[in-house]
Amino acid sequence: MTGNDQSMTDSDLQTLDDKAMESLRAQITEHLQVKDINGEHVGTVDHLEGDQIKLTKSGSPDGQHHYVSLSDVRSADEVAVYLSKTREEVMA
């Protein structure tokens, strides 16, 4: 490292985390598929509620809404939300 290198402060890291979360939230839209870490279908996005994704109840075996924490989201694109856990872990 040279004398000009600067390490990121905690504030800089928090700003990056906030921007990443903001970007992720913007990508999560109604009717996107939700897939687990193995690519298996978990549900369909109804909408965001705070720091959770509310899944539609129509795709649920028990006919109830289920929720997925945003902290369990690995990524999202125009097709699906991809989780970092298995379906079983999410639904436990």
List the CATH number of the domain containing 69. 2.30.30.240
Give the list of residues 6+ apart from residue 54 with CB closer than 8 angstroms, or none.
45, 46, 47, 48, 65, 66, 67
Q: Quick one: pLDDT at residue 13?
A: 81
Q: pLDDT tens digit string along 2-60?
A: 444 568 888 888 887 888 888 899 999 999 999 999 999 999 999 999 999 999 998 77
Q: What is the residue range of 46's domain? A: 29-91
Q: Is 81 among the domain residues?
A: yes
Q: How many domains does the chain have?
A: 1
pTM of the model as a whole: 0.80
Q: Which two tokens stand for residue 84?
A: 């970092």
Q: Is 2 among the domain residues?
A: no
39 backbone φψ class: left, alpha, beta (φ>0; ψ -120 to 50): left
Residues in the chain: 92
Helix (H) or strand (E) holding 67: strand 67-69
Radius of gyration of the chain (CA): 16
